[in-house]
Amino acid sequence: MRLLRGNQLGTLTIVAVASALLLVAAGGGGARELALRAAASSWRGLVGGPRPQVAVGQRMIVVLRSP
């Protein structure tokens, strides 16, 4: 395994910090607004049709995989 020199390590650190700052600055603000706009009542059913009402007794929990 090859070790990094001091100037290579410094350059790598600067690139990593700049990338992190760019991701934070451009990050999830729009995603939060999009999530707030899509309320559960606006969800559509299968293939864009209206969503059918489900009685409380018809709800089930399905375990697909267990430890």
The per-residue pLDDT for range 18-31, each reduced to its tens digit, is 998 888 877 655 55
- Its pTM stands at 0.37
Residues sharing a CB contact under 8 Å with residue 4, sequence separation 6 or more, in sequence order? 12
Closest CA to 51 of 36, 60, 41: 41
The per-residue pLDDT for range 2-60, each reduced to its tens digit, is 666 778 888 889 999 999 888 887 765 555 555 556 666 666 666 767 777 777 787 78
State the chain's maximal CA–CA distance in angstroms. Answer: 66
The helix (H) or strand (E) run that includes residue 29 is: helix 29-37
